[in-house]
């Protein structure tokens, strides 16, 4: 999920004050002026584009510059943000006649306490002293390759340090006041030159956009509203848990059919449980099962979503119980209900569910959910072992290390799960929050030993230590065998990790003056986490449909593992010109696009994309950006650093199809088509795609 908050507005305000200070008047129709438009997506101030710009600097009606305001904190998915920002520029370049300066202002990008700076080329970045060799630094929250691509693909990049003080002061600025440093940087940026070597790409993209207008009738585009990915995860949890409770083989087809017919909106639960297969449940099982489902938070946060809601109303000894499943499940059931009768469809579901079963921890989670007595035992075990020792971190560390082994007799006797339920229960028992209580202490506790966390933690990320410990994975599984930076042996590292975790838990427990949690609440929390483990997994049920409709004519990454398929599927990894640039300049290939399928005739590439909770807007920008970039070939000339020699041409690639799941408006689809996707549709249109692929044989 994108990291975006209201702070963005403060960054824009800071820049807007500086633009005013440079003599630009807001919303004026003549002279130097600028726009700082509302973020409402449908009132985009630049005609023909889909993304509201942050700030547009103009001279009369001519756009002089567009300012992109960015901040990001999660390196892991910084590519998403890159594509969104680049797509915004691409859209504007494609529709605007004038050649404007693109100014990308990136906040929270440089180390705290440093000065805000302008970059136009990656060579200007300081060298990263933490890395071996001559590598430029990466911005905070961005990977190196993405950082380099950012700088190379915009005319000017203004990077601000973490916690830039004037941003905090901006709310108190009266008219006329501004941050002088920002103003100076903006002044320089506005007088910078447009990079002529980037121009070639825009002409190609303009042509792609103009051609698509003649091929696709945009008037006929329909909105998509489907929930295959998230919905199938609901069905999986529901079905597997049900089967475990009734301890018999239940027909998936019958199960889905009954639900699809009876779960439209509010349903009478008593009536539902009289229908097969739900009639297999005893009254006690039924109460437990549906109460458990109703207690599952599918999404937590400000507007939590439950798996289902159960309402009772009692009158003079009679009770009416009604159940309402959440929208994701309802929409999915509706769609599944429409496909159930098709040949092979149920088998595709079954094989997808079998794949889910293999995911680490899923089987354990299902057992825990189906067996409350087992969870009670686990809770009692942890309480008995650990409660008396909370003032003795050394002993706790010893026990944690002992029980961390899946062969630990005591642990196996209760439950042979691969997941480290002992550590998990301990966290709930002490009422601690991993992020606030344990992560923040872990580094210092570890480094008291004199060894560096950075050098030992998985992927050099201390925040990954605890999740790996909880998943029951070998703590050293991610070590590189010959790394020179590792200063501990494996046993030493493991002991130290358990000691650091134990110290963090004991100290936090003491500082917070916590009491031990009640058993019932621990069990509830434990089960909620297990359910969410399944619901929020990366498994994509949406792929069932792709496999069903296209499996015989396409190689699909989530299905095929034959050598032939592996070879063919290499074509699904598409480098972009940004990949080539970052590779040529700094040997860091970045920003490739991975698709999910290749047609067996080699004529089509298939991308599947599921999104939810309004994230479709971000995904549209990203996918549009990726599509545009995939179609551009970059040539560097003899020396990649000689940017004046750069050139672009259109690259011939197979046709690209994008299959969507979630809420996608026709406008978003139009944006995607204009960006170069050859086919954009949803599950209900897969037979159409199938015909197109077959036609291209």
Q: How far is the CB of 295 from other proteins (least distance, A)?
A: 10
Residue span binding other proteins (CB under 8 A) among the ranges 308-316, 500-508, 680-688, 689-697? 308-316
Which tokens in the block code for residue 351? 């094989």
* Interface with other proteins (CB under 8 A), residue from 31, 126, 163, 614: 614
Q: How far is the CB of 100 from other proteins (least distance, A)?
A: 24
Q: How far is the CB of 663 from other proteins (least distance, A)?
A: 8
Burial of 140 (0-12, 13-18, 19+ CB in 10 A): buried
Instruction: Decide whether 43 or 407 has the Cβ nearer to other proteins.
Output: 43
Coil/strand/helix, residue 478: coil
Cα–Cα dist 359/271, whole Å: 35
CA distances from 480 to 322, 476, 484, 648 (A): 55, 9, 9, 39
* Interface with other proteins (CB under 8 A), residue from 61, 129, 130, 265: 265
Residue span binding other proteins (CB under 8 A) among the ranges 145-153, 265-273, 394-402, 455-463? 265-273
* Contact map string, positions 535 to 574, toward other proteins, x by CB under 8 A: ----------------------------------------
Q: How far is the CB of 149 from other proteins (least distance, A)?
A: 31
* Contact map string, positions 64 to 103, toward other proteins, x by CB under 8 A: ----------------------------------------
* Interface with other proteins (CB under 8 A), residue from 129, 133, 174, 484: 174
Q: Is 665 in the site for other proteins (CB under 8 A)?
A: yes
Instruction: Decide whether 32 or 667 has the Cβ nearer to other proteins.
Output: 667
Q: Give the residue among 33, 18, 43, 214 at the shortest CA–CA distance from 116.
A: 18
Instruction: Decide whether 323 or 675 has the Cβ nearer to other proteins.
Output: 323
* Contact map string, positions 221 to 260, toward other proteins, x by CB under 8 A: --x-x-----------------------------------
Residue span binding other proteins (CB under 8 A) among the ranges 146-154, 263-271, 347-355, 626-634? 263-271
Instruction: Decide whether 288 or 297 has the Cβ nearer to other proteins.
Output: 297
Is cis: bond before 277, omega within 30 of 0? yes
Which tokens in the block code for residue 37? 């438009």
* Interface with other proteins (CB under 8 A), residue from 314, 373, 407, 409: 314
Beta strand 593-594 with 632-635: parallel, antiparallel or unpaired?
unpaired
Q: How far is the CB of 369 from other proteins (least distance, A)?
A: 20
Which tokens in the block code for residue 316? 């003079």
Cα–Cα dist 386/381, whole Å: 8
CA 86 to chain centre: 19
State residue 607 phi and psi, 5-degree precision. Answer: -120, 135
Q: Is 313 in the site for other proteins (CB under 8 A)?
A: yes
Instruction: Decide whether 370 or 531 has the Cβ nearer to other proteins.
Output: 531
Q: Is 175 in the site for other proteins (CB under 8 A)?
A: yes
The half-sphere exposure of 346 on its side-chain side, counting CA atoms within 13 A, is 13
The footprint of other proteins on residues 318-357 (CB under 8 A) is: 318-320, 322, 327
Q: Give the residue among 528, 549, 169 at the shortest CA–CA distance from 339.
A: 549
Q: How far is the CB of 662 from other proteins (least distance, A)?
A: 12
Beta strand 267-268 with 297-299: parallel, antiparallel or unpaired?
unpaired
Cα–Cα dist 595/655, whole Å: 12
State residue 198 phi and psi, 5-degree precision. Answer: -95, -10
Cα–Cα dist 257/239, whole Å: 12
Ordered alpha helix ranges (H), 24-106: 78-95
Q: Is 23 in the site for other proteins (CB under 8 A)?
A: no
Q: Is 300 in the site for other proteins (CB under 8 A)?
A: no
* Interface with other proteins (CB under 8 A), residue from 5, 23, 38, 570: 38
* Contact map string, positions 482 to 521, toward other proteins, x by CB under 8 A: ----------------------------------------
Q: Give the residue among 295, 419, 308 at the shortest CA–CA distance from 368.
A: 419
Sheet holding 267-268, edge to edge: 267-268, 318-325, 308-315
Longest dimension (CA), the chain: 89
CA 290 to chain centre: 30
Residue span binding other proteins (CB under 8 A) among the ranges 261-269, 338-346, 393-401, 670-678? 261-269
N-term to C-term CA, the chain: 39
Q: Is 129 in the site for other proteins (CB under 8 A)?
A: no
Q: Give the residue among 443, 13, 535 at the shortest CA–CA distance from 230.
A: 535
Q: Is 45 in the site for other proteins (CB under 8 A)?
A: no
Burial of 310 (0-12, 13-18, 19+ CB in 10 A): middle
* Interface with other proteins (CB under 8 A), residue from 23, 113, 133, 176: 176
- Contact positions toward other proteins, by CB under 8 A? 38-40, 42-43, 174-176, 223, 225, 265-266, 268, 311-316, 318-320, 322, 327, 614, 663, 665, 667
């Amino acid at each position: 999920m994108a990291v975006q908050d209201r702070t963005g507005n403060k960054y824009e305000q800071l820049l807007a004050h500086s633009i005013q200070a440079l003599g630009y008047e807001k919303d004026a129709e003549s002279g130097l002026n600028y726009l700082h438009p509302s973020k409402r997506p449908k009132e985009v101030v630049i005609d023909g584009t889909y993304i509201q710009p942050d700030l547009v600097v103009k001279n009369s009606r001519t756009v002089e510059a567009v300012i992109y305001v960015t901040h990001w904190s999660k390196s892991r998915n910084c590519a998403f943000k890159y594509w969104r920002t680049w797509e915004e520029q691409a859209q504007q370049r494609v529709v605007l006649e004038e050649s404007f300066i693109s100014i990308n202002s990136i906040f929270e990008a440089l180390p705290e306490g440093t000065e805000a700076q302008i970059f136009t080329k990656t060579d200007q970045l300081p060298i990263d002293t933490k890395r071996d060799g001559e590598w430029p630094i990466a911005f905070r929250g961005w990977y190196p390759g993405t950082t380099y691509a950012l700088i190379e693909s915009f005319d000017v990049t203004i990077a601000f340090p973490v916690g830039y003080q004037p941003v905090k002061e901006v709310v108190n600025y009266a008219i006329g006041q501004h941050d002088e440093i920002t103003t100076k940087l903006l002044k320089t940026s506005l007088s910078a030159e447009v990079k002529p070597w980037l121009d070639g790409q825009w002409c190609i993209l303009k042509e792609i956009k103009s051609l698509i207008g003649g091929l696709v009738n945009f008037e006929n585009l329909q909105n998509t509203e489907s929930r295959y990915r998230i919905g199938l995860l609901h069905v999986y949890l529901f079905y597997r848990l049900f089967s475990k409770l009734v301890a018999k083989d239940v027909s998936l087809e019958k199960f889905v059919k009954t639900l699809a017919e009876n779960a439209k909106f509010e349903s009478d639960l008593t009536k539902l449980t009289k229908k097969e297969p739900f009639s297999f449940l005893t009254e006690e099982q039924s109460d437990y099962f549906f109460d458990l489902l109703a207690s599952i938070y599918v999404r937590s946060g400000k507007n939590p979503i439950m798996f289902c809601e159960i309402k009772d109303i009692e009158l003079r000894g009679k009770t009416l119980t009604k159940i309402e499943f959440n929208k994701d499940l309802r929409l999915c059931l509706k769609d599944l209900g429409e496909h159930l009768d098709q040949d092979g469809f149920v088998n595709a579901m079954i094989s997808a569910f079998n794949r889910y079963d293999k995911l680490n921890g899923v089987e354990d989670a299902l057992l825990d959910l189906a067996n409350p007595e087992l969870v009670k035992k686990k809770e009692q075990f942890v309480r008995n072992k650990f409660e008396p020792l909370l003032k003795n971190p050394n002993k706790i560390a010893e026990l944690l290390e002992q029980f961390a082994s899946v062969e630990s007799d005591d642990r196996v006797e209760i439950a042979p799960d691969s997941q480290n339920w002992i550590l998990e229960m301990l966290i709930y028992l002490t009422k601690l929050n991993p992020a606030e209580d344990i992560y923040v202490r872990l580094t210092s506790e570890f480094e008291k030993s004199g060894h560096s966390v950075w050098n030992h933690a998985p992927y050099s990320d201390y925040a990954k230590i605890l999740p790996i410990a909880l998943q029951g994975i070998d703590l050293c599984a991610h070590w590189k065998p010959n790394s020179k930076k590792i200063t501990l042996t494996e046993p030493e590292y493991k002991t130290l990790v358990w000691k650091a975790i134990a110290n963090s838990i004991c100290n936090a427990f003491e500082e917070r003056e916590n009491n031990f949690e009640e058993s019932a609440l621990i069990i509830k929390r434990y089960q909620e986490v297990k359910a969410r483990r399944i619901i929020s997994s990366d498994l994509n049920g949406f792929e069932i449909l792709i496999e069903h409709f296209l499996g015989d004519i396409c190689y699909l990454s989530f299905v095929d593992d034959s050598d032939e398929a592996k070879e063919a599927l290499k074509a699904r990894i598409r480098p972009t010109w940004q990949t080539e640039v970052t590779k040529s300049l700094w040997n860091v290939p970045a920003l490739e696009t991975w698709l999910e399928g290749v047609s067996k005739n080699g004529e089509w590439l298939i991308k599947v994309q599921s999104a939810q909770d309004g994230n479709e807007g971000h995904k549209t920008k990203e996918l549009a950006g990726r599509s545009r970039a995939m179609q551009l070939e970059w040539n560097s000339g003899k020396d990649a650093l000689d940017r004046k020699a750069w050139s672009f041409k259109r690259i011939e690639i197979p046709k690209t199809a994008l299959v969507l799941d979630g809420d996608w408006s026709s406008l978003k689809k139009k944006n995607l088509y204009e960006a170069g996707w050859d086919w954009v549709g949803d599950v209900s249109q897969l037979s159409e795609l199938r015909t197109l692929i077959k036609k291209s044989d």
